[in-house]
């Protein structure tokens, strides 16, 4: 029996990965997939540099590159599957190729989403969000959904988002701004544009002025980063695997 070692540093969907392993092994009974979990990128890099490097690695959204010719060119294998490469949109095709070769394949695309807890909206007697909501609409509703106990401690936040420049980018783009030029050559005139600055200011005010989002340095306490403790939240698609409540 042939063994293939698969290394990942993404723990939140391990149950999905195990199901895929079992399904693949049923179709290919002579293969045994061994899943290895790296705790961080450093451990994964160290494993790649060892004499017992894994056969397949999952990069967690970062382009593979091909330093020291670690990876084989997957282009011939991708070409065998009709329509595979044409299914990838142009930006993705550009991102996954490196110096004319294909060192990695895209596994999934995780779009940014705003989810809301219907139970908490119902409890407050508020209508669900609609497509014509504005930022100001969201802030006003989030204020009503930010709750305090008799000691003035917040027990439920109206909105939740991580303090991460990647997470803030969709808000800048929605406001007509952006971080870099379309060709990626410069950030000047984009990340410092009035539209981007305005989007940042709205987010910062949501923390500091409206207090509808937990401050990054504030202990989570009773209102931590969990869907049931925030009425609305900014998430990526992988949260729906990590937080089953979001899928309901």
Q: What is the mean pLDDT of the chain?
A: 84
Q: What is the mean pLDDT of residues 190-195?
A: 96
Phi and psi, residue 8, nearest 5°: -140, 155
More confident residue, 149 or 26: 26
Cα–Cα distance for residue pair 84/105, rounded to 1 Å: 10
Token pair recorded at residue 45? 């890099």
pLDDT at 248: 44
pLDDT classification of 110: cutoffs 50, 70, 90 = confident
Reading the block at residue 33, the tokens are: 């997939």
Q: Determine whether 196 is exposed, middle or buried from the number of CB atoms within 10 Å of its CB (0-12, 13-18, 19+).
A: buried
The residue among 166, 195, 165 whose CA lies nearest residue 178 is 195
C-alpha span between 201 and 199 (Å, rounded): 5
Q: How would you class 115 by CB atoms within 10 Å of its CB: exposed for 0-12, middle for 13-18, buried for 19 or more?
A: buried
Q: Do domains 2-96 and 112-247 have the same CATH topology?
A: yes
Q: How confident is the model at residue 247 (pLDDT cuts 50, 70, 90)?
A: very low
The pLDDT, as a whole number, for residue 62 is 62
Whether residue 109 contacts residue 233, with contact meaning beta carbons closer than 8 Å, is answered with no
Hey, what are 132's tokens?
């014509």
* 197 pLDDT more than 90: yes
CA 164 – CA 171 distance, rounded (Å): 12
How many other CB atoms sit within 10 Å of the CB of residue 117?
20
pLDDT value of residue 57: 85
Query: Residue ranges of the domains in the chain?
Result: 2-96, 112-247
Predicted TM-score (pTM) of the model is 0.66
Considering the domain 2-96 in this protein, what is its CATH number?
Answer: 3.40.190
Six-digit token string for 109 = 């695309």
Q: Tokens in use for 25?
A: 């092994």
pLDDT tens-digit series, residues 208-245: 999 999 887 765 544 444 545 789 988 876 666 555 45
Q: Stretch 187-205: mean pLDDT, rounded?
A: 96
Class of domain 112-247: alpha beta
């Amino acid at each position: 029996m042939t063994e293939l070692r698969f290394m990942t540093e993404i723990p939140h969907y391990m149950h999905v990965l195990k199901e895929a392993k079992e399904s693949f092994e049923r179709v290919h009974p002579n293969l045994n997939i061994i899943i290895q979990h790296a705790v961080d990128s450093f451990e994964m890099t160290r494993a790649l540099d060892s004499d017992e490097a894994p056969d397949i690695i999952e990069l967690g959204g970062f382009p593979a590159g091909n330093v020291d010719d670690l990876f084989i060119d997957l282009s011939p294998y991708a070409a065998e599957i009709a329509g595979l490469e044409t299914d990838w949109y142009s930006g993705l095709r550009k991102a996954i190729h490196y110096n004319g070769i294909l060192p990695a394949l895209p596994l999934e695309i995780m779009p940014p989403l705003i989810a809301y807890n219907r139970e908490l909206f119902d409890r407050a007697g508020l209508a669900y969000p609609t497509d014509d909501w504005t930022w100001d609409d969201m802030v006003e509703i989030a204020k009503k959904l930010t709750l305090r106990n008799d000691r003035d401690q917040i027990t439920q936040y109206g909105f939740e988002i991580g303090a991460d420049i990647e997470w803030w980018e969709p808000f800048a783009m929605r406001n007509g701004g952006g971080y870099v030029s379309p060709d990626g050559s410069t950030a000047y005139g984009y990340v410092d544009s009035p539209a981007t600055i305005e989007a940042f200011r709205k987010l910062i005010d949501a923390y500091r002025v409206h207090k509808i989002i937990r401050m990054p340095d504030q202990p989570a306490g009773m209102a931590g980063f969990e869907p049931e403790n925030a009425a609305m939240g900014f998430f990526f698609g992988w949260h729906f695997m990590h937080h089953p409540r979001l899928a309901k």
